[in-house]
Structure 1
Amino acid sequence: MKGVGVRPAELKRLTVAEAADRYGELVRAKVVTGALSPATAEVYARDVATFVALAGPDTVLDDLTGEDVDAILLAFARKPDGRRAAPQTGTQAGSQVGAQAQSAASQARFRRSVSALFKHATLAGWVQLNPMALATVTARERGGLRAERRALTREQARGLLEAARALEPEPGRRRDQRTEMRDALIVVLLTVVGPRVSELVRANVEDFYVNDGVRYWRIFGKGGRTRDVPLPQDVAAMLDAYLARGRPRTREKALLLSWRGRRLARGDVQAVIDRVVRRVDPARRRSVTPHGLRHTTATHLLADAVDMDAVRRVLGHGDLSTLGRYRDELPGELEVAMRSHPLLRPARPAE
C-alpha cells in the first residue's frame, strides 16, 4: 500500500499504455544518439509490451503498488516461453501446452526492464512513488524470480483459506466437471500441512488412513523417507467430503484428479492456487506459490511456539537446521513477543 499523502500537482495520471508509448519514444531516441544499441532497445520494447499486457493497458501507472508489481513479475515467470517449447506430440503440436516457463535469465532481464521503466516514470513525474522500492520479488540469475518473503501473514493466510472453503461451482459447468471441492482441499492441505508440491501430486487415496479416530496422511518424501502427519479435524472432514462427493469415480489411485480422471501435475496446482487467490478480499490478497504456502505453514507453527522438532517432522526435514530457511519474519512479531514476555506475566497464585 502506498503511503497516504497529497498528490503533487505536476503528477501526470498516465495509463500503463500511455506511459509505455512515451517511454518507447525515449528508448528510440537513445538508439538514434548511440546511447543504446538496437538489440537492447528491441529487448526493452518487447519486455515493456509484455508488462503492458500483464498490468492492463488502461490501468493508471501511478495506481500500481509493490504487490501489483510482484504479481506481474511472478505472472511473467510462469508465462510459457515459445522459444523454449518442450517436445510435443499428437494434439499438442503447434500449441503452447508443452512450452516451458521463462528461463531464470529472462525473468531477471524482465525485472530490469520494468525497473528501468519505473525509474524513468519517477523522474518524469508519472508516479509519485516508485513501486519497485516496495516489490518483494528479487531477480536471481540462477534461480529466477523469487519473493524475498514467501510466507503469507496470518490475515493473508486466513483470507486464502476462507476463499477456498467458500468456493462455489463455476456457472455452466456440468456436475462431472466441477472441481471446487478438490481445489479447496489442495489449498487447505498446502497451507495447513505444508507438503512439497511433488508430495501432494504424488499422494494416493490409500495414503490416508484412520488410527484411533485420527485421520493421518502418510507422505512419501525425499530420499524414500515417509512421515505420518495427523490432519486437523476440519481438514479431515474436507478430505472425506471430497472422497465421497468430489472425486471422479475411477480406478486411478491418485488423490487429486482432473475432471477427466487424470492425476494432476505440479503446474495444475499453481493454477488452482491462482484461481483461489483471485477470490480473496483484495485487502488480504497476495500471490503465492505452493512453496510459499509451505513457508507459511512453517512460519506460523513456529511463531505459535510449536515444538521445533514437531514442525521438522511435519515438513519432513532431516534436521532442525533446515527449518531456518523456512522461517520468515512476520510483521509485528517482535512487538507481540515482547508484550507477552514470560517474565512479565503475573505470577500464578500458590496452590
Structure 2
Amino acid sequence: MRPAEVQRITVEEAADRYAELVRAKTVTGALAPSTAEIYTRDVHTFVALAGTGRVLDDLTGEDVDEVLLRFARKPDGRRRAPVPADGSAPLQSAFSQARFRRSVSAFFRHAAVAGWVQLNPMRAVTVTSRQRGGLRPERRALTREQAEGLLGSARALAAAGPEEGRRADQRTELRDALIVLLLATVGPRVSELTRADVEHFFTNDGVRYWRIFGKGGRTRDVPLPRGVAQVLDAYLAERRARAVDTPALLLSWRGRRLARGDVQAVIDRVLARVDPDRRRSVTPHGLRHTTATHLLAAATDMDAVRRVLGHSDLSTLGRYRDELPGELEAAMRAHPLLGGPGAETGGSREA
C-alpha cells in the first residue's frame, strides 16, 4: 500500500536512515555484520553517484540507470595494481555490479515502505548487463597452469627470508603466502577468512583442521593440505615470537585484524611474482571458483566439495563449476565404454 504522504528527504538523508536500520539489524541477528557492511557501503556509493542534495522521490528509472552505468565504469578501488599506460584502470566486475544493484534494490524497497518515494524507480530501470559491460566472464577459475603459478609464487614467498630493512613487526611474507594458499586450496569466502581466529585451527589425529564459521551461523571443519598446514605453523610461530595480543589470525602490520578490502591487494602482490605467461588477474571469489572447479575436475565427490565450500545444497555448487580448457578432450580419451587402441578422440579408423 502506498503511503498517503511522501517524505521529501534528500538521497543522503535517506541513505543515513537506511544505514542506521541496517546496523540495528546486526544487533538482533537479522543481518550478518559483513552483509550490513556491504549494504551500507553500496548505498553510500549510490549517494555519491546520484547526488547528495537531490530529493529521493525525484529520482526516476532513467536516473537509476545512469547511476548503474556510472558504477560499472567506476575504477575498482580495491585493486592497487599500477594504472596501465593507456590510463585505464580496472573497472567493476560483473559480480560487483550485480551486488551493487541488489543493494540499491533493497534500499528502494525500504524507501517505498517507509514513505520516502511514491513509486520504486527500480521498476522502471531498463539498462541491461550488456550495456553495463557486466557480462559474466566465461571463466572465473584459474587454469591449472595459472593456479600452479600462483601457488608456487606463494610457497616461494613463504620460503624466502624477510625483506631487508623491514622491522620484524612489518614482515608480511608468511601472512601473504598463507592468505593465497588458503583461498586457492580451501576456497573460503573472504569474510570467513578475515573473521578467522587462531583458536579456529586445531589438530586431530595428526591432521590440521580449520573450523570455518560461515553463513547462517553454520560451521564446518576443513582439513588443510600438508603444505598449507606447514605455512600456517610457520606463520603462527612468527606470530607468537611477536607476542601479539589479539585472537585474529590475519593482522595488518599495525597489528589490527585484516580488513576484507586488503585481501585483494595481497593477492595482487603475490601475482606480481608469477611468470607473466602463467599470470592472470583474479579476485578472492575467483579463487573460490578455482577451488571448486579443480576439485570437481579431479572427480572429487560433489558432496565433499559442497562441504568444503560451505554450501547448503548441491544446486549452489553448479554455479562454481567453470569450464577448463581441454577437459572435454580428456573426458573422451578416458571414456568408460571404450578402451584399447583407437579409443582416443580422433583416433578411430574409417570402415
TM range (shorter): 0.5 to 0.7
| TM-score, length-scaled by structure 2 | 0.60
Q: Is the 8 A contact 1:218 1:226 kept in 2?
A: yes
User: What SS does structure 1 have at the residue aligned with 2:337?
Assistant: helix
TM-score, reference length from structure 1:
0.60
Which of the numbers 92, 100, 105 marks the counterpart of 1:77?
A: 92
**Offset at 1:174?**
1.9
Between the aligned partners of 1:104 and 1:220, the Cα distance in structure 2 is 25
Instruction: Give yes or no for the alignment of 1:250 onto 2:244.
Output: yes
Match among 118, 129, 141 for residue 151 of structure 1: 141
Distance 1:161 1:218, change over 3 A: same
Q: Sequence identity, in percent?
A: 73
Shift of 1:235: 1.0
Q: Does 1:55 align with 2:49?
A: no
Instruction: Check if 1:299 corresponds to 2:293.
Output: yes
Q: Could you tell me which runs of 5 or more consecutive residues in structure 1 were left unpaired when the two chains were aligned.
A: 1-39, 59-71, 79-100, 106-137, 347-351
Q: Deviations over 1:167-224 (max 9, x none)?
A: 2434432222110000000000000000000000000000000111111100000000
State the one-letter code of the partner of 2:331.
A
Q: 1:281 aligns to what?
A: 275
Secondary structure of 1:321's aligned partner: helix
1:104–1:143 Cα contact (<8 Å) kept: no
Deviations 1:306-341, CA, capped at 9 Å, x for gaps: 000000000000001111100000011100111112
Q: Deviations over 1:19-57 (max 9, x none)?
A: xxxxxxxxxxxxxxxxxxxxx9xx99xx8999xx83214
For the residues of structure 2 that align with 1:49 and 1:144, how far apart are their CA atoms? 14
> Contact 1:182–1:246 (CA<8 Å) still a contact in 2?
no
Residue 77 of structure 1 and its aligned partner are, at CA, apart by: 3.2
Whether 1:164 aligns to 2:123 is no
Q: Give the AA of the match of 2:142.
A: L
Letter in 1 for 2:322: D
CA gap of 1:142–1:320, structure 2 versus 1, over 3 A, is farther
- Say if 1:264 and 1:143 are closer, same or farther in 2 by CA, change over 3 A: farther
Paired residues of 1:140 and 1:146 also in contact (CA < 8 A): no
d(CA) in 1 for partners of 2:191, 2:154: 21
Q: What is the CA–CA distance in structure 1 between the aligned matches of 2:171 and 2:244, rounded to whole Å?
A: 15
Partner residue of 1:226?
219
Question: Pairwise CA RMSD of aligned residues?
Answer: 3.3
Out of 313, 322, 326, the residue aligned to residue 320 of structure 2 is: 326
1:144 deviates by 5.8
Range with bigger deviation, 287-296 or 336-345: 336-345
- 1:1-150 correspondence runs (5 A): 54-57=83-86, 75-77=90-92, 147-150=137-140
**Which residue number in structure 1 is paired with residue 189 of structure 2?**
196
Match of 2:329 among 319, 323, 335: 335
Whether the 8 Å contact between 1:104 and 1:142 is mirrored in structure 2 is no
CA contact 2:75–2:91 (8 Å) conserved in 1? no
- Counterpart of 1:216 in 2: which secondary structure? strand
Note closer, same or farther for the CA distance 1:317–1:142 as it changes in structure 2 (3 Å cut): farther
Q: C-alpha distance in 2, partners of 1:264/1:145?
A: 31
Q: Which residue of 2 aligns with 1:9?
A: none
Give the distance between the partners of 1:188 and 1:230, measured in 2 at CA.
Answer: 13
Correspondence for 2:263 among 266, 269, 277: 269
Give secondary structure in 2 for the equivalent of 1:215: strand
CA, structure 1 residues 182+300, in 2 after alignment: closer, same or farther (shift >3 Å)?
A: same
Decide whether aligned partners of structure 1 residues 48 and 326 sit closer, same or farther in structure 2, where only a CA change above 3 A counts: closer
Contact 2:201/2:211 (CA < 8 Å) preserved in 1?
A: yes
Partner in structure 1 of residue 117 of structure 2:
none
Residues 48, 237 of structure 1: CA spacing in aligned structure 2 closer, same or farther, 3 A cutoff? Answer: closer
Task: Tell me which of the two structures has the higher relative contact order, counting C-alpha pairs closer than 8 angstroms and 6 or more residues apart.
Answer: 2
- In 2: Cα distance, 1:48 partner to 1:299 partner: 30
Once residues 234 and 132 of structure 2 are traced to their aligned partners in structure 1, the CA distance between those partners, rounded to angstroms, is 42
Q: Which residue of 2 aligns with 1:81?
A: none
- Work out whether residues 312 and 319 of structure 1, in 8 Å CA contact, stay in contact via their aligned partners in 2: yes
Q: Deviations over 1:44-83 (max 9, x none)?
A: 9xx8999xx832149xxxxxxxxxxxxx66x2339xxxxx
SS in 2 for 1:77: coil
**Following the alignment from structure 1 to structure 2, what is the Cα–Cα distance between the partners of residues 49 and 156?**
25
Q: Does 1:344 align with 2:338?
A: yes
Equivalent-residue separation in structure 2 for 1:328 and 1:149 (angstroms) = 6
